[in-house]
Amino acid sequence: MPSNPNYRIGLVQMSCSPDPDANLDKAADRVREAAREGANVVCLPELFRAQYFCQREDIALFDLAEPIPGPSTERLSAIAREEKVVVVASLFERRAAGLYHNTAAILQQDGSLAGLYRKMHIPDDPLYYEKFYFTPGDLGFKAFDTAFGKVGTLVCWDQWYPEGARITALQGANVLFYPTAIGWHPAEKEEFGTAQYEAWQTIQRAHAIANGVYVGAVNRVGHEQGDIRGNRVEGPGLDFWGGSFIADPFGRVIAKASHDKEEILIGEIDIRSMEDVRRNWPFLRDRRIDAYAPIVNRFLDATTLEK
The CATH number of residue 139's host domain is 3.60.110.10
Catalytic member of 119, 130, 142, 224? 119
Q: Is 82 a catalytic residue?
A: no
Question: Which of 109, 204, 223 has its CA nearest to residue 160?
Answer: 204
Cα distances from 30 to residues 42, 112, 157, 304, in angstroms, run 9, 20, 24, 50
Report the pLDDT value the prediction gives residue 178, as an integer from 0 to 100. Answer: 98
Strand partners, 182: none
**Domain limits at 77?**
7-306
In a domain, 1, yes or no: no
Report the pLDDT value the prediction gives residue 306, as an integer from 0 to 100. Answer: 66
Report the pLDDT value the prediction gives residue 5, as an integer from 0 to 100. Answer: 86
Report the pLDDT value the prediction gives residue 231, as an integer from 0 to 100. Answer: 84
Report the pLDDT value the prediction gives residue 307, as an integer from 0 to 100. Answer: 63
- Total domains in the chain come to 1
Report the pLDDT value the prediction gives residue 4, as an integer from 0 to 100. Answer: 60
Q: Is 156 a catalytic residue?
A: yes
DSSP per residue over 36-48, as a string? HTT-SEEEPPTTT
Catalytic member of 46, 83, 130, 224? 46
Alpha carbons 175 and 30: distance in angstroms, whole number: 21
Alpha-helical (H) ranges within 235-293 are 271-280
Per-residue pLDDT of the chain (307 residues; tens, 9 = 90+): 455 689 999 999 999 999 999 999 999 999 999 999 999 999 999 999 999 999 999 999 999 999 999 999 999 999 999 999 999 999 999 999 999 999 999 999 999 999 999 999 999 999 999 999 999 999 999 999 999 999 999 999 999 999 999 999 999 999 999 999 999 999 999 999 999 999 999 999 999 999 999 999 999 999 999 999 888 888 899 999 999 999 999 999 999 999 999 999 999 999 999 999 999 999 999 999 999 999 999 999 877 766 6
In a domain, 2, yes or no: no
Distance of CA 49 to the CA centre of its chain: 14
H or E, element range at 66:
none
At position 30, the amino acid (one-letter code) is R
Catalytic member of 16, 43, 54, 156? 156
Q: Is 142 a catalytic residue?
A: no
